[in-house]
Amino acid sequence: GENVEQHPSTLSVQEGDSAVIKCTYSDSASNYFPWYKQELGKRPQLIIDIRSNVGEKKDQRIAVTLNKTAKHFSLHITETQPEDSAVYFCAASISSNYQLIWGAGTKLIIKP
Amino acid sequence: NAGVTQTPKFQVLKTGQSMTLQCAQDMNHEYMSWYRQDPGMGLRLIHYSVGAGITDQGEVPNGYNVSRSTTEDFPLRLLSAAPSQTSVYFCASSYGVARGGDTQYFGPGTRLTVL
């Protein structure tokens, strides 16, 4: 079946540095790639998404890049702050139905 | 708008008991879904609905039933609870049915423990 692999599972960075999380997907017809942030004990919330007709999208300190040929997409967070500490999930749409397939998550730790 | 609401927030069941997790949204969203989230794992889709009267199975549907009689409500029924169903359950909704390509809004979750 379709799957999404997400790396790394844990990422520790110094406050102010950049963080990069990568996901690869298997369905070459996937066309929607969201990223969600989940703080401890809270619900997942969308932080940024990208569609297959766009290569890069930015929103302040957050950016997502998509390489359709290689079937991978990445989340970039610059100038990390303590409030960026959370679990981040990537997902990819399945072309044959209405589902999203989710990565296993990356725990981002911002060290002061 | 209240967004997506779920009840109860916490529930403890004994093996073999049945119960219904409630989910409602007031955003007139067509698409609704149920996920379970186990420790250290991502979200796994249980069932989803693209509109009133239409439901379909996700990745892990066994042991669960759903119905969608109205646009607003999408309850999840556990038929005979098992310890393997101990998890956090999230309901989510989105506006469009454009093949999953739309922002999903999550409810606050229900933490279920089956003894």
Return d(Cα A42, Cα B76) in angstroms, integer. Answer: 20
Residues B24-37 have a mean pLDDT of 94
DSSP state of B39: T
Return d(Cα A7, Cα B12) in angstroms, integer. Answer: 34
Strands B10-13 and B110-114 turn out to be parallel
Whole-number pLDDT of residue B57: 94
Residue % of chain B over a pLDDT of 70: 95
Cis peptide before B75 (omega within 30 of 0): no
Q: Which of B59, B12, B106, B24 is nearest to A39 (CA)?
A: B106
Q: Does B2 touch chain A (CB under 8 A)?
A: no
Q: Which of A39-53, A96-110, B65-79 has the lowest mean pLDDT?
A: A96-110
Q: Which of B90, B91, B85, B77 is nearest to B112 (CA)?
A: B85
Bridge partners for A64 per DSSP: A57, A75
pLDDT in tens, A66-100: 999 999 999 999 999 999 999 999 999 887 777 88
Whole-number pLDDT of residue B101: 65
pLDDT over threshold 80, residue B100: no
Cis peptide before A8 (omega within 30 of 0): yes
Q: Do B42 and A104 touch (CB under 8 A)?
A: yes
Whole-number pLDDT of residue B96: 67
pLDDT over threshold 90, residue A1: no
Q: Please tell me the distance in Å from B16's CA to the nearest CA on chain A.
A: 27
pLDDT in tens, B31-49: 999 999 998 778 999 999 9
Inter-chain contacts counted by CB atoms under 8 A, chains A and B: 59
